[in-house]
Amino acid sequence: MALPMQRCCARLRALTLPWPAAGYHARPRAWGLDRIYKPDPSDPETKEWHKGPAYEAKLYGRFGSASGVNPESLWPNQEQLRAIEEEEREWFPGLREMLNRVEAKEREMLRLKQERDKLIAANMAKMPQMVAEWRRAKRDAKQKARDEKARKERLLAQAREKFGTNVDFRSPKFQELLKDLEKEEKKKMKAKKRKQKEEEREAMEAVLSTPTANTQPTAPVSDSSV
């Protein structure tokens, strides 16, 4: 039954109207555009966003002088104006200040680049010497390792001569003997170095005490005019 009635209403609308019309009808607004809603600030039920100069500025921007808002009250006072100016100076600097900052940053970057280039040039100049020192240190390390290996083999040979070939290297007696041999060898090396230093000192004293060949006694000069 409902379907035939809908078809009948659609045909009637098509006959009475020159264009198709929708069947939806919106409810009218509680207050139209010609009415300005100005809440009472003293009313406890008034919302916070309906109070203050921000809402009044919104009303004045929408309805103009019909809103009843005094435009002079929307301007900031002296204290608010100083706060706005300070905020603008902090967060929105002028063009000259921004250019000065950019120039200072570029100068700092140029200075750092020049210092880096100088450091690279100095290191490149030192590169041959550094490579030679590295190779010399490598040779010294290899020679030290060979000397240490030869010393250990010599100590082991001395220990084998005393204990024999069939000896346990992990035995406490063998380890103690190795320590004694190492101490004895260190003493010999210290005595050798001490003797070498004494010989060098004696040679230096002998050189200093010997007069040079060019030094001869000078004869008194006679004055022929006397």
Two tokens at 38?
Answer: 């100005």
Residue 164 region by backbone torsions, left for phi larger than 0, else alpha for psi between -120 and 50, else beta: left
Quick check: is 147 in a domain? Answer: yes
With tokens 């040039």, the residue in question is 121
**Cβ–Cβ < 8 Å for 163, 174:** yes
pLDDT for the residue numbered 212: 55
Cα distance between residue 54 and residue 107, in whole Å: 46
Mean pLDDT for the chain overall = 78
Two tokens at 154?
Answer: 């010599």
Quick check: is 53 in a domain? Answer: no
Please name which of 136, 135, 132, 177 lies closest in space to residue 158, comparing C-alpha atoms: 177
How many C-beta atoms surround the C-beta of residue 83 within 10 A? 12
pLDDT for the residue numbered 3: 61
Number of structural domains the chain divides into: 1
Mean pLDDT of 199-225: 64
Please name which of 191, 171, 172, 193 lies closest in space to residue 183, comparing C-alpha atoms: 191
pLDDT for the residue numbered 226: 36
Domain interval for residue 146? 97-195
Quick check: is 169 in a domain? Answer: yes
Mean pLDDT of 14-31: 55
pLDDT tens column, 140-180? 999 989 988 887 787 777 777 776 656 566 667 777 777 77
| Element housing 59 (H / E) | helix 52-63
| Element housing 107 (H / E) | helix 95-163
Quick check: is 155 in a domain? Answer: yes
Burial class (CB within 10 angstroms; exposed 0-12, middle 13-18, buried 19+) of 47: exposed
Mean pLDDT of 189-200: 84
Most confident residue range from 106-115, 169-178, 182-191: 106-115
pLDDT tens column, 50-81? 888 888 888 888 888 888 888 888 888 889 89
Quick check: is 130 in a domain? Answer: yes
- Chain length of the chain: 226
Quick check: is 109 in a domain? Answer: yes
pLDDT for the residue numbered 118: 94
pTM of the shown model? 0.34
For residue 9, name the pLDDT band (cuts at 50, 70, 90). low
Quick check: is 11 in a domain? Answer: no
Quick check: is 156 in a domain? Answer: yes
Residue with the bigger pLDDT between 111 and 225: it is 111
Cα distance between residue 146 and residue 153, in whole Å: 10
